[in-house]
Structure 1
Amino acid sequence: MFKGRHFDRSVILLCVRWCLAYNLSLRNLEEMMAEWGISVDHATIHRWVVRYAPELLQRFNLRKRSVTRRWHVDETYIKVRGRWTDLYRAIDSNGDTVEFWFSERRNLTSAKCFLRKALKR
């Protein structure tokens, strides 16, 4: 996965994780790496995120714990970034989230899309 890269894989994974998990700007990450003595450009970090984020997501999903056979679905109306949206959630009997879906419209199409996505898990 990291064959032929100039930087060590731990640096790449750390930058990608921080960028996705903590919503840091690329320039902030560049400064943080410079404090550790690692000279990396923000454009390089962006290329790492674009390249490795989908692959890491796929690998994490393969290792996720499977959900129980019994789960419940609820729907609520919440405000996100100043806009009212519908939140659909599926929760298994252990209380773990199976899937969630935000939709600006409450209609049959969005509900079916959510259920299809949840049933795939």
Structure 2
Amino acid sequence: MTRTHEALAAETELWQVKYLNNGVEQDHRNIKRITKPMMGFKSFNSARITLSGIEAMNLIRKGQVKGVEQGSIVSQAKFIEAIFGIAA
């Protein structure tokens, strides 16, 4: 075991949680609903880029981005305008 692995093992706590994946599955439910009608991607790269954009918008909508308030459409629009230089 390398020094990095030993330090990580010493700092890592093992959680015995039976339903740990439920939160992840519920979080992706909205993304699954959006992507289901568009499952005919032409290439892996186009699917990767599209799914990354959908995930990013979901994070912004949920308020998981610093400086963006959850539920504040004005805050979300200002963030998107700052990032992409377009009015949302």
TM-score, normalised relative to structure 1 = 0.24
Greater share of residues in helix: 2
Structure with more relative contact order (C-alpha pairs < 8 Å, separation 6 or more): 1
Greater share of residues in strand: 1
